[in-house]
Amino acid sequence: EKGGYEHYMRKEIHEQPTALRQALSGRIDLDRAGVDLDLEFPQGCLESLEEIQLVACGTSYYASQYAAQLLEEVADVRATVEIASEYEFDGGRDPWRTLVIAVTQSGETADTLGAIRRAAGAGARTLAVTNTLGSSVTREADDTLFIRAGPEIGVAATKTFVSQVATLALLAVDIGRGRGTLSTADARDLLGDLRGLPGAVQQVLDEEDRVLKAAREFRDSESFFFVGRRFGYPVALEGALKLKEISYDHAEGFAAGELKHGPLALVTDKTPVLAVLTDGTRAGETMNNVTEAQTRGAPAIGAVSAGLETGSLDIGLEVPNVGIFEPLVANVYFQLFAYHVANLKGRSIDKPRNLAKSVTVE
Ligand code: F6R
């Protein structure tokens, strides 16, 4: 059932190219540089939006942070993200010009269901982005977009993260084209990068032995810091969450620029820094922050865009060129790193202590 893998998590990490192909399948029309998502919103509704609010928890929240940046950049629509358990919606001036998107793999997360109910109650349009047919969120929301990742058994979300972002990227293209804010040429570039994503992820999976080596080298560290900027920031947060969940080691993610505003006090030679150093995420500035940590003795591991020059890293892991999606590919290195650190320690990877796959209490 685990298809020869010792854990579902590793199987699901390796399923990412397939999951991505499924998310994109039949949805991209390169001729008109558009996408077809089969949404049933009334004609013109997405075009007249003033704001998109994404609500989610945990890994889905980090996917939403990535997606909000995509929506702003690609579709030029105001997009905000909120942790579902913190979300209050007062309706604003024109609730019907607000789209609230609940991003939830399981479709059963109580905090996320509560948030979307509050939004719907105040008159906003609602969209569910989920992996699960027939789940509660699909009944609560006006419309549903499936991420089509296939079942995810491991408690730690892996393939669904990348599928959520890819699906929301399609939505960003749809909205950008509908509003006329995304040009044909830019849409084609973006869709081309998106179609390159499964292959890019596969290339990273083929480097697994190098990640295993890094995990062996750093498994006994005191703490792990993940840093990135722009799209690399939610990926840093996600990298840290994955590691702490399954290895039980302390890990934290930071906006790279924040290191010097406090966390640097924690940095020693026992606190490796893992950095997203990809094109379009201000990698030069991120590298400056990494160098400051290195000066205090911290080992540095970087996921670096192919062809990008950085300063010296202890371990450099190459990320194939797929534009705005490169941090998503970097994330695959972080998933493998978390997996191997946890596996070397003999942790209960598919069912970490104290955690459940879907959290149905608020
Ligand atoms: C982390 C993880 C959790 C979930 C969170 C939301 O690996 O799996 O943080 O992402 O509980 O779950 P969904 O997406 O089902 O709403």
Tokens of 32: 């008109």
Question: 89 CA distance to ligand 1 centroid (A)?
Answer: 22
Concerning whether 345 is annotated as a catalytic residue, the answer is: no
Enumerate residues lining ligand 1, CB below 6 A. 57-60, 104-106, 109, 112, 156-157, 241, 245, 358-359
In sequence order, which ranges of the chain are alpha helices (DSSP H)?
8-14, 16-24, 58-70, 110-121, 136-140, 159-179, 184-205, 208-218, 232-247, 283-295, 326-344
3-state SS class at 218: helix
**52 pLDDT more than 80:** yes
* Global pTM value: 0.97
**What's the mean pLDDT in 297-307?**
98
**43 pLDDT more than 90:** no
**26 pLDDT more than 80:** yes
> If pLDDT is split at 50, 70 and 90, which confidence band does 117 have?
very high
> If pLDDT is split at 50, 70 and 90, which confidence band does 174 have?
very high
Q: Which atom of ligand 1 is nearest to the CA of 160?
A: 14
Which has more confidence, 3 or 82? Answer: 82
Closest Cα to atom 11 of ligand 1: 58
**47 pLDDT more than 90:** no
Question: 62 CA distance to ligand 1 centroid (A)?
Answer: 10
Question: 180 CA distance to ligand 1 centroid (A)?
Answer: 34
Q: Which atom of ligand 1 is nearest to the CA of 161?
A: 10
Kind of pairing between the strands at 250-255 and 223-228: parallel
| Ligand 1 pocket: which of 13, 55, 83, 106 to mutate (most atoms within 8 A of CB) | 106
| Ligand 1 pocket: which of 105, 133, 155, 361 to mutate (most atoms within 8 A of CB) | 105
**Residue 292 burial class via C-beta count within 10 angstroms: exposed 0-12, middle 13-18, buried 19 and up:** middle
Residue 294 contacts residue 269 (beta carbons within 8 Å): no
pLDDT, one tens digit per residue, over 238-284 is 999 999 999 999 999 999 999 999 999 999 999 999 999 999 999 99
Rounded CA-CA distance 142/159 in Å is: 26
Q: How many CB atoms lie within 10 A of CB 186?
A: 15
3-state SS class at 255: strand
The partner residues of 52 in beta bridges, in order of sequence, read 79, 99
> If pLDDT is split at 50, 70 and 90, which confidence band does 128 have?
very high
> If pLDDT is split at 50, 70 and 90, which confidence band does 42 have?
confident
Rounded CA-CA distance 143/162 in Å is: 21
Rounded CA-CA distance 98/232 in Å is: 27
| Ligand 1 pocket: which of 339, 359, 360 to mutate (most atoms within 8 A of CB) | 359
pLDDT, one tens digit per residue, over 193-231 is 999 999 999 999 999 999 999 999 999 999 999 999 999
- Largest Cα–Cα distance in the chain? 58
Place of tokens 């596969």: 202
* Sign of CA pseudo-dihedral 70, 320, 334, 332: positive
**Residue 147 burial class via C-beta count within 10 angstroms: exposed 0-12, middle 13-18, buried 19 and up:** buried
Question: CA triplet 302, 306, 307: central angle to 5 degrees?
Answer: 110
Q: How many CB atoms lie within 10 A of CB 116?
A: 26
* Mean model confidence pLDDT for the chain: 96
